[in-house]
Amino acid sequence: MASKLCGKWQIISSDNFDEYMKAVGVTAENRALANDKFSGSSKLCQLITNDGDSWTIKTITSVGEREVAFKIGEDFDSQTIDGRAVKVSMKMDGDTLVETQVGNGVESINNRSVEGANMIMTMSACGVTCTRKYEKV
């Protein structure tokens, strides 16, 4: 059975994103671009699919697309949308998809879950949390 997370989700709000980006080491130039292109008023979407333990998350923005394919429980190397190298692990905690990214000595925990008609994504690092809300499209 497919997860409730599966589908195409468009961002509708984003809280504390700039502070989160500072915490994980995103440059001022990249933060300015991200605040313009990936904020709650943008057309940022996540397309999530899964088949058993195999998942794909495609991030769709006005400046391009990025796709990450992974299996639950298998660590992998990846690159953030702003180009930082990270080690990633993914697990399910109930109905929540938990992503742990570690890069440049910083750990970020990113949770995706469905609450009502919305997907809620929380991203936490160095005591800073960003909450992003998406609606299914």
Domain boundary assignment for the chain: 7-136
Note whether 46 and 59 are within 8 A (CB).
Answer: yes
What are the tens digits of pLDDT across the range 32-56?
888 777 665 668 899 999 998 899 9
Confidence of residue 14 (pLDDT cuts 50, 70, 90): very high
Architecture category of domain 7-136 in CATH:
Beta Barrel (2.40)
What's the confidence (pLDDT) of residue 41? Answer: 60
What are the tens digits of pLDDT across the range 57-107?
999 987 788 899 999 999 999 998 788 899 999 999 999 999 999 999 999
